[in-house]
A and B are shown apart, each in its own frame.
Chain A
Amino acid sequence: MSNSLIFNRINPPPLEYLMLNKLGFGPSEWSLERLKQLGLKGYVDEQLNPDDSADDILNKKLKECSYPIEYEQFSADGSKRIIKENRFYDLINAPLDQLWPLYKDAVNYEEKIYPAKQVFGATILRAVYSKWQLKELMVDFWHNHFNVSVKIDDRVAITFPIYDREVIRLNTLGNFRTMLEAVAKSVAMQCFLDNASSKASPANENFARELFELHTLGAEHYLNHLYNRWREVPGAVDGKPEGYIDEDVYEAARAFTGWTIADGADDWKGGKFANSGEFNYFEQWHDNYQKRVLGVEFNPNQPPMSDGKKVLDILANHPGTAKYICRKLCTRIISDKPSETIIELAAREWMLSVNKPDQIARVVKLIAMSEECRLTWGDKIKRPLELAISSFRAVEATVTPNNNLMWVLLQMGQQPFAWPTPTGYPDQSSYWINAEMLLRRWNFPINLMNYYWHNYAKADASSQVPEELKTCKEVASFWLKKILGYIPEGDTLQHLSVYLADGGKPEREMYGKGNLRNEKISWLVSAILLLPDFQVR
């Protein structure tokens, strides 16, 4: 049997490097210092109680940076106006009544997608510069868990700052049941999974199915072979079924009829909805008769929205949801194949905290502090977003997100908020390791360090080398240790030093000054970012 490890290294990197790769987007000087200073427990505690006002560098970036917008606007008289601006990050804090007016045919597509682009830019800035790395990691987790694509529907793009701010970020370390309802009522999810147009009868099943399969119980609890024999689902007659069947999906779809968006559309009852972009419960679309979801009987003619809320209650309190989401959390934080033991422990904490306002933080803490988190390394490849951000952080790049960065991430396979199906980006290495994707991820650091067409980041590799380090080997060692935290076993240092010495001896001093030297060191740094050691976490 050939070796089937993703990556062969036996010795792990220093603990700080290992943990910062798992609990965020890789080490930075500040994070390394802070972790050393507080110890792991103190660091995790602080990370789980993030104080946004203390995030000084990030706050400065969000205030001073801007995101470009460019398009041609044609007027009714045929005249053309070119809009080419850099706008400050104002839309990420914009209220609904400022965003929703973009939902008009006459508004240019670039303006409609622009709120989502601002969220993209702000997400990158936060991932790179925020002190609260664990929060950013969790924001990324929940965005993928409750994935919507901003490319599918204008209403999603226009209101995306609200989805990011008030649905995902607000609840990211909070209570799952609260987040679940915020998601269910959001314009983004209502439109992405079509519940906004679902009415009795037949209801649109899209949201209800993914609510079970992806948001709560997971496909591991889908007992479809029992199709319509709900009494045969283990535990069902006692009101505690182990899993769900298609009938539960049908019934839940009925429960959510009437949950829609006030988007000015025809209500099919002779009127029109208000055009405010707010969540809208429309009684006349609701299927008001009795239902049975997961063995629980629903009486007919319940008050507004109570059917839907009851479904959310049942799902959020189900131990299957705890298991499925904790498996995903462990897979995100620890490794591709976390042990059943850690999943069970996390799921137990999840259920114990199910009504607590900091339920998610408690579970994340348990996972982050687990031995398994500290003792595993290198069996998970960084996804392109993690690769890009950890590169920026490792080389202390000045990052100014723009459309080129979005395009490069798309090329690498992970443009944030653009995965077309509700699953979110895959979180198993097997998806990410293939020829096309390796090539794209290799070209990333080459472009980052050596070509500046993209204007999204600039790093000065040369000036970071302490002056007293003169030889090629010293320079290569410095950058290896800075980026990886260690010198890999074997010939890596030798090869890098010889490369720096243009084929000469590693012990010789680096030739050249100024640009020549800068260029050579930039290429060296891109080679280190390309090492297998930097691809994994």
Chain B
Amino acid sequence: MQRRDFIQQCSSATAAMMLTGITGVSMRPSFMPNNEIFVLVFLRGGCDGLQLIAPVNDPYYFADREPALRVTESGENGGIKLKNGLGDVDFRLHAAAAQLKELYDSDQLAIIHSCGLTNGTRSHFDAQDMIEKGIQSKKNISEGWLARYLNSISDKSNFSAIAAGSSMPLSLWGSPTAVSINGINDFALQADGNFNNLIRKSYNDQSILSKTAQQTFYTIDMLQKKIPRRANGETIPYKPDGSANYKDDDFGKSMKNLAQLIKLDIGLHVSTVDYGGWDTHEYQAFRFPDLVKSLSQNLHAFYNDVNKYQNRVTVLVMSEFGRRVKSNKSNGTDHGFGNAMLALGGNVKGGKMYGNWKGLKTENLDNGVDLSVTTDYRTILHEILTKRMNVTDSMKYILPFYSPVAPINFLG
């Protein structure tokens, strides 16, 4: 092979790899206002917001859905009545969400309904891609919106951003500081000091692989230093706060890890948790209650576990889209549009529903089939960025194609 050809190929690859799209927009020196701890929970697959927070007295809801996929006022699928709903609609939480009701009643949990991505895609992967990049149409942009936020702040301590899980979600792609952590106590190379040193010497250039490796070494060192140990050096397994009762499942494990990381006081500022399995095209009546139970119980457990941090924590729960109003003949629902979002935290004006509810009358639906999107998901992100992260000038860089509208004021 000709060396020259090879270098040419490499440099065209470099060009292709360069961060495309927006660069050089004001990198305003910022700070970490309120020592905010922002947690983004993404429900992958399209959570059925109409069975999670249901308009039980809407006649169209009643007519369009199989009884088993409906929350009702009473009986087997009777839902939990919510105070401060929207208009005169009787909104009820799914019966498996009792712990969410508790958080709602303590005014720490707000529900925003009928919101989402304004682009009408019904593709999971396109919708997630756009939402996680903070945009509304396919664009040649490679960074996530949280990554752009992190790139815009001056205080880039190494643990400001953590994906609690085994992979890094798109919202954090392109952040040089974000790390993914799944296990905490065992986050180490299973080898002695000499071997560790040898490997560190191998990852010493400016490539993406080396830079990520250096971050990984830093994470290993920091966690190994911070984890509490017994006198003999053994690490002490994490014990949640007494009242926190996590479910023993993947989502529970991620939320528990996150609580542990917060309590290690390593400077966590932004974090993400993925929770998959919401694509209920069939047998939704069997699958949905378990999904909701885990969501509800683990959010509740997490929030109690970090009780000393509640005034700094904001949790946002979202999904790529909602599901079809009308159920299909497999006892499921297909991909829909508008959905509910949940916001939990000490600064959330909870115990209240937000959003513009147009109802499920066919003429008011998107394309006659799906709940409309009356609040752009970016309006919610914008309010969090403004009120919890004190973002001002760099907003155009973080949400590049968004024209701000009046906030819905779910945050104090």
Q: Taking beta carbons and an 8 Å cutoff, which residues of A are in contact with B?
A: 1-8, 10-12, 15, 193-194, 197-206, 209, 213, 219, 222, 224-225, 227-228, 246, 249, 335-337, 339, 372, 374-379, 381, 411, 413, 420-421, 423, 429-431, 433-440, 442-443, 446-447, 450-451, 491-492, 495-496, 499, 503, 523, 526-527, 530-532, 535-536
Given A206-B334, A439-B220, A495-B198, answer yes or no on A532-B122 (Cβ-Cβ < 8 Å): no
CA distance A205 to B18 in the complex (A): 38
Partner of B330, one of A2, A198, A436, A491: A198
Chain A residues with CB under 8 Å of B382's CB are: none
Partner of B180, one of A4, A11, A434, A531: A434
B 187-218 binary contact with A (CB < 8 Å = 1; else 0):
11111001100110111011111101101100
B210 touches A204 (CB 8 A): no
Given A213-B125, A337-B13, answer yes or no on A433-B367 (Cβ-Cβ < 8 Å): no
B1 touches A523 (CB 8 A): no
Chain A residues with CB under 8 Å of B125's CB are: 213, 219, 423
CA distance A8 to B209 in the complex (A): 9
A225 touches B120 (CB 8 A): yes
Partner of B16, one of A337, A381, A413: A337
Chain A residues with CB under 8 Å of B44's CB are: 421
Interface centre among B13, B191, B199, B212 (most CB of A within 10 A): B13
CB contact list, B331-368 vs A, under 8 A: 331-332, 334-335, 367
A434 touches B17 (CB 8 A): no
B329 touches A532 (CB 8 A): no
B181 touches A435 (CB 8 A): yes
Chain A residues with CB under 8 Å of B331's CB are: 197
Partner of A5, one of B13, B212, B335, B367: B13
**Identity of the chain A residue whose Cβ is nearest the Cβ of B18 in the assembled complex:** A4
Chain A residues with CB under 8 Å of B213's CB are: 438, 532
**Identity of the chain B residue whose Cβ is nearest the Cβ of A530 in the assembled complex:** B199
Chain A residues with CB under 8 Å of B19's CB are: 4
CA distance A219 to B124 in the complex (A): 10
- Which of B31-39, B75-83, B163-171, B241-249 lies at the interface with chain A? B163-171
Interface centre among A376, A434, A526 (most CB of B within 10 A): A434
Nearest 10 A/B pairs, CB to CB: A197-B330, A436-B180, A435-B179, A206-B281, A3-B206, A434-B168, A337-B16, A204-B330, A435-B216, A205-B334
Partner of A438, one of B182, B212, B283: B212
10 A-B pairs with CB atoms under 8 Å apart are: A3-B205, A8-B205, A199-B329, A203-B329, A379-B13, A379-B17, A433-B212, A434-B179, A436-B167, A436-B168
CA distance A96 to B172 in the complex (A): 45
Chain B residues with CB under 8 Å of A495's CB are: 198, 201-202
Interface centre among B18, B120, B142, B195 (most CB of A within 10 A): B195
CA distance A366 to B142 in the complex (A): 30
CB contact list, B316-338 vs A, under 8 A: 326-332, 334-335
**Identity of the chain B residue whose Cβ is nearest the Cβ of A432 in the assembled complex:** B167
Is B106 in contact with chain A by the CB < 8 A criterion? no
B201 touches A491 (CB 8 A): yes
How many B residues face the partner with a CB closer than 8 A?
A: 76
Given A5-B13, A433-B209, answer yes or no on A228-B367 (Cβ-Cβ < 8 Å): yes
Is B240 in contact with chain A by the CB < 8 A criterion? no
CA distance A204 to B281 in the complex (A): 7
Is B123 in contact with chain A by the CB < 8 A criterion? yes
A6 touches B209 (CB 8 A): yes
Chain A residues with CB under 8 Å of B191's CB are: 446, 450, 523, 526
Q: A4-B17, A8-B205, A375-B5 given. 5 additional CB < 8 A pairs?
A: A222-B123, A433-B212, A436-B163, A439-B220, A442-B199
CA distance A5 to B17 in the complex (A): 7
Is B290 in contact with chain A by the CB < 8 A criterion? no
B207 touches A3 (CB 8 A): yes
CA distance A495 to B201 in the complex (A): 8
Is B90 in contact with chain A by the CB < 8 A criterion? no
**Identity of the chain B residue whose Cβ is nearest the Cβ of A536 in the assembled complex:** B209
Is B409 in contact with chain A by the CB < 8 A criterion? no
Chain A residues with CB under 8 Å of B277's CB are: 420
Chain B residues with CB under 8 Å of A335's CB are: 13
Interface centre among A225, A381, A421 (most CB of B within 10 A): A421
B198 touches A499 (CB 8 A): yes
Chain A residues with CB under 8 Å of B17's CB are: 4-6, 336-337, 379
Chain B residues with CB under 8 Å of A197's CB are: 282-283, 329-332
Given A376-B13, A434-B179, A438-B216, answer yes or no on A198-B329 (Cβ-Cβ < 8 Å): yes
**Identity of the chain A residue whose Cβ is nearest the Cβ of B165 in the assembled complex:** A436
Chain B residues with CB under 8 Å of A4's CB are: 14, 17-19, 208
A194 touches B281 (CB 8 A): yes
Interface centre among B10, B45, B189 (most CB of A within 10 A): B10
B120 touches A227 (CB 8 A): yes
Is B276 in contact with chain A by the CB < 8 A criterion? yes
- Chain B proximity of A22: nearest CB distance (Å): 13
Chain B residues with CB under 8 Å of A503's CB are: 194
CA distance A411 to B332 in the complex (A): 32
CA distance A107 to B208 in the complex (A): 49
CA distance A440 to B181 in the complex (A): 11
A531 touches B207 (CB 8 A): no
Chain B residues with CB under 8 Å of A7's CB are: 207-209
Partner of B6, one of A10, A431, A496: A10
Is B126 in contact with chain A by the CB < 8 A criterion? yes
Chain A residues with CB under 8 Å of B122's CB are: 209, 224, 246, 249
A202 touches B329 (CB 8 A): yes
Is B173 in contact with chain A by the CB < 8 A criterion? yes
B18 touches A1 (CB 8 A): yes
Chain A residues with CB under 8 Å of B119's CB are: 224-225
CA distance A381 to B212 in the complex (A): 13
Chain A residues with CB under 8 Å of B142's CB are: 430
Chain B residues with CB under 8 Å of A536's CB are: 209
**Identity of the chain A residue whose Cβ is nearest the Cβ of B173 in the assembled complex:** A430
- Chain B proximity of A206: nearest CB distance (Å): 4
CA distance A443 to B282 in the complex (A): 40
CB contact list, B139-190 vs A, under 8 A: 142, 163, 165-168, 173, 178-182, 187-190
- Chain B proximity of A252: nearest CB distance (Å): 13
**Identity of the chain A residue whose Cβ is nearest the Cβ of B276 in the assembled complex:** A420
Given A224-B122, A379-B17, A451-B190, answer yes or no on A436-B335 (Cβ-Cβ < 8 Å): no
**Identity of the chain A residue whose Cβ is nearest the Cβ of B5 in the assembled complex:** A375
CA distance A168 to B198 in the complex (A): 43
CA distance A439 to B217 in the complex (A): 9
CA distance A256 to B168 in the complex (A): 36
Chain B residues with CB under 8 Å of A228's CB are: 367
Is B307 in contact with chain A by the CB < 8 A criterion? no
B189 touches A443 (CB 8 A): yes
A381 touches B209 (CB 8 A): yes
Is B386 in contact with chain A by the CB < 8 A criterion? no
B3 touches A198 (CB 8 A): no
